[in-house]
């Protein structure tokens, strides 16, 4: 059976040594103060809860899955009790505004909670995470009455939330949405339509489910300009609780590859009563409020699966005996050497370790920007941080989930045949991870969003500001005896990063397919450079910090591996970004048919 322990040493290293979260929190306004002691206390408590309550349910929830019985969905055994414990611990309300029942803590505190819930039990963690997305949208766009009604219940955890976007004929192209919203005399709307792939759309964990639904008003413009958002509860609110059942029902749950413990539902809205959130035909802006937050969470899901799979495969590699080292027996007293002596097993383990620890640093850096965008005490700093988090969001989502698929597959390969069977739990990580590259916008959509909206749309200003920050770190370390070579290499890559964006944009002006052909490779190049920047900073701190010698030495060695074995992947990516789109498009479509 798999085992897991929260990587507290690595998390504390980032929180205190690399990014100095306690000092960062002092720059924020409108949130509860968090000092080092409180930060450590929160981290230790959520680590205890997720290790003891959620991780033991990961494999059993996968085996049992959700049950659909006469329109009712039953979550796997133990999920409801774990959710009740999560609510009792106040975890559903950590970052919410106090006026609506939240604890008012910075967004990065919620990020730590989401990281550990997603690491220990991805399917379970999606239930509160989706509620958090609904809270963000309602807090940003809801009326005071809607906030008072729904946010209090969502923060208290007695109601949960969903995002209802996808329909049978359209996925990410929400401009094709057909669900209708007809106005009623009382100010509400009748919602009719079908939504599919709705995670946590029906379950028995909470008393009510609050659906945020994209639909069209009568006479709305075609495409995305005619989309509005509505709040549609499963049960109509009544007094301090719920009343009659609304016209929203689950028609079935999907039989899917992974995340079996989370119900992926088909929802029918039949004259369901809903209320407009935000302006008419302004649903896209409302949607992106929750979508962007969800994309960061999915990046954390990828990170979590890397960490969990790495821990399992590292433990197995230390124990599993197979053949002898190429240089001769390392453990002559044993019938064979542990497989960790073999170079290629080391390659796979170090790839997981480097991407887990580097990816965590990238995620935490993005979290800092999210804090600043929301709560910096200076308006200009808030605006700069918002541009930075907008730029980082598709990279965090796309790069970390792609890395997660690679790393969970490495874990399965290390286990060999034992990884392919259920007993060790590794194949579940591969199956669960696969959806993270798809939902909340595929890697391809993240890549187009990055190069199109986040880089080219503003003339590359946000990208160049980030490149300048990376370059400043490199320049400061260029003459360092230990890190200088890495700093100089990274500085050249940062310069090339900007050149690739300029080249791709110029070619795209002549032929938009050039952007489409190079976008994913550009996203991955961006991720490798940014994780390299994080590793450079971590190695710099590890070289001067005091603490556990083995931990700090491990940081240095893993960083060396990243620069020598993973960062060079940018060479191939740069070549394919520069290549013309005709390599993909000149073959006639009919030639793909067999």
How far apart (Å, rounded) are the C-alpha atoms in residues 429 and 394? 22
How far apart (Å, rounded) are the C-alpha atoms in residues 89 and 106? 17
Structure tokens at 101: 């029942």
Structure tokens at 75: 């979550």
Annotated catalytic residue, options 53, 202, 440, 514:
440
Q: Residue 216 has what DSSP assignment?
A: B
Residue 331 and residue 337 in contact, taking contact as beta carbons nearer than 8 Å: yes
CA angle 519, 525, 528 (to 5 degrees): 145
- Does 440 qualify as catalytic in the annotation? yes
For 340-393, give the secondary structure using H, E and C. Answer: HHCHHHHHHHHHHHHHHHHHHHHHHHHHHHHHHHHHECCHHHHHHHHHHHHHHH
Report which secondary-structure segment, H or E, holds 496: helix 484-510
Q: Are strands 72-74 and 67-69 parallel, antiparallel or unpaired?
A: antiparallel
- Report in angstroms the alpha-carbon separations of 410 from 141, 215, 458, 556: 43, 42, 39, 22
- Report in angstroms the alpha-carbon separations of 389 from 285, 396, 429, 512: 16, 10, 28, 26
Q: Residue 185 has what DSSP assignment?
A: T
Residue 49 and residue 42 in contact, taking contact as beta carbons nearer than 8 Å: no
DSSP lists the bridge partners of residue 266 as 252
DSSP lists the bridge partners of residue 162 as 211
How far apart (Å, rounded) are the C-alpha atoms in residues 16 and 9? 10
**Nearest alpha carbon to residue 293 among 475, 133, 455:** 133
Structure tokens at 345: 């097993």
Would you name the residues annotated as active-site residues?
440
């Amino acid at each position: 059976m798999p085992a897991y322990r929260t990587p507290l040493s690595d998390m504390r290293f980032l929180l205190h040594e690399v990014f100095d979260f306690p000092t960062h929190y002092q720059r924020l306004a409108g949130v509860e103060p968090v000092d080092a002691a409180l930060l450590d206390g929160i981290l230790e408590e959520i680590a205890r809860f997720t290790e003891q309550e959620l991780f033991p349910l990961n494999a059993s929830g996968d085996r049992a899955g959700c049950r659909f019985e006469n329109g009712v969905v039953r979550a796997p055994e133990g999920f409801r009790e774990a959710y009740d414990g999560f609510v009792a611990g106040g975890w559903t309300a950590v970052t919410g505004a106090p006026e609506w029942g939240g604890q008012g803590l910075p967004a990065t505190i919620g990020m730590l909670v989401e990281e550990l819930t997603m690491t220990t039990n991805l399917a379970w963690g999606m239930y509160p995470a989706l509620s958090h997305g609904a809270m963000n949208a309602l807090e940003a766009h809801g009326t005071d009455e809607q906030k008072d009604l729904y946010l209090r219940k969502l923060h208290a955890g007695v109601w949960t939330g969903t995002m209802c976007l996808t329909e049978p004929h359209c996925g990410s192209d929400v401009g094709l949405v057909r669900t209708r919203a007809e106005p009623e005399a009382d100010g509400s709307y009748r919602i009719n339509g079908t939504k599919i792939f709705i995670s946590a759309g029906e379950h028995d964990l909470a008393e009510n489910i609050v659906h945020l639904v994209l639909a069209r008003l009568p006479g709305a413009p075609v495409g995305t300009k005619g989309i509005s958002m509505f709040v549609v509860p499963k049960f109509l609110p009544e007094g301090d609780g719920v009343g009659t059942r609304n016209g929203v029902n689950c028609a079935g749950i999907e039989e899917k590859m992974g995340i079996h413990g989370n119900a992926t539902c088909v929802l029918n809205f039949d004259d369901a009563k809903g209320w407009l959130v935000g302006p008419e035909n302004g649903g896209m802006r409302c949607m992106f409020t929750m979508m962007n937050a969800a994309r960061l969470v999915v990046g954390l899901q990828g990170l979590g699966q890397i960490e969990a799979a790495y821990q399992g495969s590292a433990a197995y590699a230390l124990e599993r005996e197979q053949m002898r080292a190429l240089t001769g027996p390392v453990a002559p007293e044993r019938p064979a050497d542990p497989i960790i002596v073999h170079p290629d097993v080391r390659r796979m383990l170090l790839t997981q370790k480097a991407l887990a620890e580097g990816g965590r640093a990238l995620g935490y850096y993005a979290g800092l920007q999210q804090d600043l965008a929301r709560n910096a005490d200076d308006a200009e700093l808030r605006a700069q941080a918002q541009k930075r988090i907008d730029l980082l969001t598709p990279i965090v989502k796309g790069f970390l989930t792609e890395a997660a698929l690679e790393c969970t597959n490495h874990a399965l390969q290390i286990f060999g045949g034992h990884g392919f069977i259920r007993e060790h739990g590794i194949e579940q990580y591969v199956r669960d991870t696969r959806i993270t590259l798809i939902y909340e916008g595929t890697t391809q959509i993240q890549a187009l969003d990055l190069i199109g909206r986040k880089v080219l749309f503003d003339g590359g200003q946000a990208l160049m500001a980030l490149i300048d920050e990376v370059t400043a770190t490199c320049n400061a370390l260029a003459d360092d005896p230990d890190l200088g070579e890495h700093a100089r290499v990274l500085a050249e890559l940062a310069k090339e990063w900007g050149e690739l964006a300029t080249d791709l944009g110029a070619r795209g002006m002549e032929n938009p397919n050039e952007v489409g052909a190079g976008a994913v490779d550009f996203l991955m190049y961006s991720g490798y450079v940014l994780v390299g920047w994080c590793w450079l900073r971590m190695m710099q701190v590890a070289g001067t910090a005091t603490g556990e010698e083995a931990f700090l030495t491990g940081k240095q060695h893993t960083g060396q591996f990243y620069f020598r074995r993973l960062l060079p992947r940018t060479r191939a990516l740069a070549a394919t970004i520069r290549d013309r789109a005709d390599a993909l498009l000149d073959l006639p479509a009919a030639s793909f048919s067999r």
